[in-house]
Structure 1
Amino acid sequence: MEPFTIISLIFITVCWALFLTLKTPKNLPPGPPRLPIIGNIHQLKGGVPHRVLRTLARKYGPIMYLQLGQIRTVVISSPRLAQEILKTNDVVFADRPTTIASQILFYKAQDIAWAPYGSYWRQMRKICTLELLSAKRVRSYSFIRDEEIRNMRTRLESSTGKAVVLRDVVVQMVNDVICRATVGDVCKDRSTLIDVLFDIMRAVIAFNMASYYPSLGFVNVVSGKKAKWLKRQKQLDVILEDILEEHRRNRSNGGNDQEDLVDVLLRIKENCDLDQPITNDNVKGIILDMLIGGTSTSSMTLEWAMAELMKNPKIMKKVQAEVRRIASGNTIAETDIQNMHYLKMVIKETFRLHGPPLLVPRVSREDCVVDGYNIPVKTRIIINSWACGTDPDSWENADSFIPERFENSSITYLGSDYELLPFGGGRRICPGIAFGVGIIENALANLLFHFDWELSNGLKPEELDMTEATVLSNLPKHPLEVVPITVSC
C-alpha cells in the first residue's frame, strides 16, 4: 500500500473518530476531561492500569465515563456498583467486546470466555458447569494435583539452600496439573505451549490502537501485529490438533478408564444431541480457556501469597504453625486443608489484594440506566475488582495485608460478595473456581509444611519489592527469588 494512501486513510479515520467523540450522549457518568480524537487514552499512561483507574475514580466517582478513542467505556470501582452490573443488570451487560486479537487467537470467539452472550454460550456454559468442572469431576482429578505437587516438592528439595525463582517452579507445577486434567498427560510441547499462552495473554490485554479505533483495523496489518497473531495461532492450533488426534485414536482403540476434559468434549461432540452441534474449533477454544485461565490465575496467586508471607514474617510463622499442627505424617490430606482456617484467610487476603485486578470487559447489549446515569448500548464496561477489594468504605486498612480481617467474616470469593471478586460474578463468573482454589490451597499448604523460606542475597523482608508488572496480568514486576530449606515434619 502506498504511503500516501495510508496517510489518507488515517486522516479520514481520525476525522470520523473526532465526529464520534464530539457526538456524546447526554447524562453520562462523570469523568475526566477528554481530548479530541484520543479522548482519555493519554490518562491511562504512567502506571499499572488498575491503579491509574482507581486514582481517577477517587476523583471522579465510582462510576466513571472514559472515551478511549472510539470506544465508550464505563469504569466501575465500588462493590455497590459492581453489584448493579453483575447482578441487577447482569443480562444487559452479559456480552463481551469483539476484538481482532480475540477473533484470531480464540477461534473467532468460539470459546466460553469471549463468546458473545446467546444460545451457543449458554449451551457451552452448561456443558462446562455440569460436565467439565462439576464438583465430582474436579474431585476425580485430585490425584493429578497431588502427584504434581509432590513433583514440585522434589524439585525444591533438590535445590534446598539455593536460590530459586519461585515463578518458574509454580508455573510448571500448575501447567502440568492443568495439562494432565485437560489433555490427559503432560503436554509434549509444554515449553512452546507456555510461551504461546503467555503471548496470547499479552496480545489480549496489551495496548493496541486498533482496539480503541475499530475503523483503524488495517493498522494491525501494516504494523505486523496481525501476522504475529496469526503465526502464534497457527503454532497453537498445531499443538491442539495433535492433542485431538491422539485422543480420537485412543477412543477408537477403547479409550482410557479416566476421562480427561478433551475426552469429555469429544464424547459430547460425537453424541450429536446438542441444540447446536460443536466443531473441533469449539473444542480447541474451550481447551485454550482451560489452559490459560487455570495456569495464569493459580500460579499468579501462589507467587503473590508467598511474596506477602516473605514480606510479613509474623504471618508466615502463624500460618506455618497452623499447617504443621494440623497435617500429620509426611502428606497433607484434603480433610487437613478443610481445617486450615488461617491458611484460607491468607488466600482470601491474597485474592483481595492480588487477584485479577480488572475483570474481563463486558459490553452493554441495550441502553441502560445505572446509578442514575445513562449507559448507551455497546458501551464497554470495565469492573476494577482491585478497586472494589481495596474500597475504604468496605475494608479497614484496605491496602494492608491482614488475613485476620476474614476471621469473623462471611465474605466469600464465590461471586455473591462484591467486595471480593477474583473470579468475577453473575452469569459470566469463572466456572473453574473449585479447580483453581484446590490447586492453590494444596500447593501453598505443601510449600509451608515441607520448607522454611529465606529471601535470596540476604534481602530483608522490608526490602522486598512488591511492585506490579505493567505488561502481563498482575504479576510481581520482579519474580520472587527465595531459598527453600527442607524441614523434617
Structure 2
Amino acid sequence: MRKLAMLELFSSKKLKAFRYIREEESELLVKKLSKSAETQTLVDLRKALFSLTASIICRLAFGQNFHECDFVDMDKVEELVLESETNLGSFAFTDFFPAGLGWVIDRISGQHSELHKAFARLSNFFQHVIDDHLKPEQPQDHSDIIGVMLDMINKESRVGTFKVTYDHLKGVMSDVFLAGVNAGAITMIWAMTELTRHPRVMKKLQQEIRATLGDNKEKITEQDLEKVHYLKLTTPTSSPLAPRETMSDIKIQGYNIPKNTMIEINTYAIGRDPNCWTNPNEFIPERFIDNPIDYKGQHFELLPFGGGRRICPGMATGMTIVELGLLNVLYFFDWSLPDGMTIEDINMEEAGAFVIAKKVPLELVPVP
C-alpha cells in the first residue's frame, strides 16, 4: 500500500506532473484575497489557507476539483477534518487500561460513540468521492490513487493472500486526506503569525522576495521557490509524528517497555532542546543559515517528518504546498493588523490534540 501511494502520489515524477494543480489553486487563492484587499476586508487566514490545502490535496489524491462538486461545502470539510483529528489525538482509556475495563470506560464516557460518529461522517464523504469516480461520464483531473485502487478491487487483485477492498481504499484516502490537508494549513498559519509578530523578519523576507522576483509578476510558479532562500528559513516545521507501537519487549535507558505499547515521539520537545539550539523558543530564521541540520530525516535535532523507513512519504509534496502558498500571500500582499490591535495583542494559545493549531484565528487585512 505504501508503494502504491508513492507511485501514484508522492514520487518525484508525480510531484512535477501535478505542479499545474498547485499553481492553479494558489492563483485562485490570490484572486480571492485580492477581492478582500480591494475593500480592506479582514481575512481569516485559517479558512483561506485551509481551502487552499484541501483543494490541492483533493485534486492531487482524488482527481477531483471540489470547486465544481455539488456535494462539497468547504466549511463542512474543515469541520470534518478537525473533528476526526480531535478524536484521533484524544485520550482513550483502552490505550491505558486492560482491554475489558478500557472498553467499558470509553463507552460510558461517550468517547467510543463520538469516534464512531466522526469516522462515519468521514466515510460518508469518501463514499461520495468514490461514487463520483464510478460515474462513466465523470471527467477526472488525472489518473489518481482512487482509480488505480478501484481497478484493483474490480479485478480482485491479490498479493499473496492480501486482497484490496473498499475498506483499504477508504483507509488510504483517510491517511492522505487527514495528514495532508490540516498540517499544511496550520504550518502556514503559524508562519504568518510569527512573521506578523516579527516585523523585521517580515520586511526582510518580502524585500528579498520582491527584489528577486521583480515587481510586475502576474503569477508565481514553483520555479520561483528555488530563488527565494530566506523563505525556506522562515517556514516552521514541527508536526507531531503518528504514534508507533513496539513490536517486542524492549529496554530504553533503563525503562522496560512491553510489546504492543503505544509510543509517542515528542518531536516538539526534540526541536526545542536547549542542548541543541540557542534560544530554541525564539523565532530566529537566521539560525539555519549555513546550518547543516534540515528537516529531511537525517538529523535527529529536527524531525517534523520522522526518519528512516517510516518517514512521511508526502514530505516533498507537503513542503512545496506550504512554500508556494506562503510565497503567493507574501509576494502579492502586505498584511496589517485590524484597527486598534497591536503585535502584543496576538493570541498565541494552542489548541488541538493530533496537530497543534492556533486556538484564536489569525485575522489580518491584506494590502495590495
Q: Which residue of structure 2 lines up, in the alignment, with residue 75 of structure 1?
A: none
- Gap regions ≥5 residues in structure 2: none
Does 2:229 match 1:341?
yes
Whole-angstrom distance in 1 between the partners of 2:207 and 2:159 = 51
- CA 410–165 in structure 1, closer or farther in 2 if over 3 Å, else same: same
- CA 257–195 in structure 1, closer or farther in 2 if over 3 Å, else same: closer
Does 2:101 match 1:224?
no
CA RMSD in angstroms, aligned pairs only: 2.1
Superposed displacement of residue 373, structure 1: 4.2
Pairwise mapping of residues 109-128 of structure 1 onto structure 2 (< 5 A)? 124-128=1-5
Superposed displacement of residue 333, structure 1: 2.2
Please point out which of 255, 262, 280 is paired with 2:146: 262
Whole-angstrom distance in 2 between the partners of 1:134 and 1:481 = 36
Does 2:54 match 1:168?
no
Does 2:219 match 1:331?
yes
Pairwise mapping of residues 340-419 of structure 1 onto structure 2 (< 5 A)? 340-347=228-235, 350-351=236-237, 355-356=238-239, 358-419=240-301
Q: Which residue of structure 1 lines up, in the alignment, with residue 12 of structure 2?
A: 135
Q: Which residue of structure 1 lines up, in the alignment, with residue 320 of structure 2?
A: 438
Read off the aligned partner of 2:287 and give its amino acid letter.
R
Whole-angstrom distance in 1 between the partners of 2:351 and 2:141 = 43
Read off the aligned partner of 2:232 and give its amino acid letter.
K
Q: Which residue of structure 2 lines up, in the alignment, with residue 422 of structure 1?
A: 304
Identity percentage of aligned residues:
34
- CA 279–403 in structure 1, closer or farther in 2 if over 3 Å, else same: same
Q: Which residue of structure 2 lines up, in the alignment, with residue 67 of structure 1?
A: none
Whole-angstrom distance in 1 between the partners of 2:318 and 2:117 = 30
SS in 2 for 1:394: coil
- CA 156–463 in structure 1, closer or farther in 2 if over 3 Å, else same: same
Read off the aligned partner of 1:330 and give its amino acid letter.
E
Please point out which of 148, 155, 173 is paired with 2:25: 148
Whole-angstrom distance in 2 between the partners of 1:451 and 1:285 = 39
Superposed displacement of residue 247, structure 1: 1.2
SS in 2 for 1:447: helix
Q: Is the 8 A contact 1:327 1:333 kept in 2?
A: no
Superposed displacement of residue 375, structure 1: 2.9
- CA 380–208 in structure 1, closer or farther in 2 if over 3 Å, else same: closer
Q: Is the 8 A contact 2:65 2:141 kept in 1?
A: no
Pairwise mapping of residues 163-312 of structure 1 onto structure 2 (< 5 A)? 163-183=42-62, 184-186=64-66, 188-191=71-74, 192-213=76-97, 214=99, 215-250=101-136, 256=140, 258-270=142-154, 272=157, 274-275=159-160, 276-312=162-198
Q: Which residue of structure 1 lines up, in the alignment, with residue 333 of structure 2?
A: 451
- CA 132–267 in structure 1, closer or farther in 2 if over 3 Å, else same: farther
SS in 2 for 1:397: coil
Whole-angstrom distance in 2 between the partners of 1:446 and 1:166 = 13
SS in 2 for 1:453: strand
Q: Is the 8 A contact 1:345 1:404 kept in 2?
A: yes
- CA 219–448 in structure 1, closer or farther in 2 if over 3 Å, else same: same
TM-score normalised by L of structure 2: 0.90
**1:231-286 C-alpha deviation (Å, 9 max, x unpaired):** 33332222212221221233xx6975721332233244455253422111101110
Superposed displacement of residue 224, structure 1: 3.1
Whole-angstrom distance in 1 between the partners of 2:110 and 2:230 = 50
Whole-angstrom distance in 1 between the partners of 2:277 and 2:146 = 42
Task: Return 368-377 or 274-283, whichever deviates more.
Answer: 368-377
**1:31-87 C-alpha deviation (Å, 9 max, x unpaired):** xxxxxxxxxxxxxxxxxxxxxxxxxxxxxxxxxxxxxxxxxxxxxxxxxxxxxxxxx
Read off the aligned partner of 2:206 and give its amino acid letter.
Q
- CA 232–374 in structure 1, closer or farther in 2 if over 3 Å, else same: closer
Whole-angstrom distance in 1 between the partners of 2:227 and 2:148 = 33
Whole-angstrom distance in 1 between the partners of 2:111 and 2:258 = 31
TM-score normalised by L of structure 1: 0.69
SS in 2 for 1:393: coil
Read off the aligned partner of 2:92 and give its amino acid letter.
N
Q: Is the 8 A contact 1:309 1:315 kept in 2?
A: yes
Whole-angstrom distance in 2 between the partners of 1:431 and 1:332 = 26
Whole-angstrom distance in 1 between the partners of 2:141 and 2:33 = 32
Q: Is the 8 A contact 1:145 1:439 kept in 2?
A: yes
Q: Is the 8 A contact 1:365 1:378 kept in 2?
A: yes
- CA 235–377 in structure 1, closer or farther in 2 if over 3 Å, else same: closer
Q: Is the 8 A contact 2:249 2:258 kept in 1?
A: yes
- CA 470–266 in structure 1, closer or farther in 2 if over 3 Å, else same: closer
SS in 1 for 2:358: coil
Q: Is the 8 A contact 1:181 1:261 kept in 2?
A: no
Whole-angstrom distance in 1 between the partners of 2:313 and 2:12 = 11
- CA 376–231 in structure 1, closer or farther in 2 if over 3 Å, else same: closer
Q: Which residue of structure 2 lines up, in the alignment, with residue 56 of structure 1?
A: none
Superposed displacement of residue 297, structure 1: 0.7
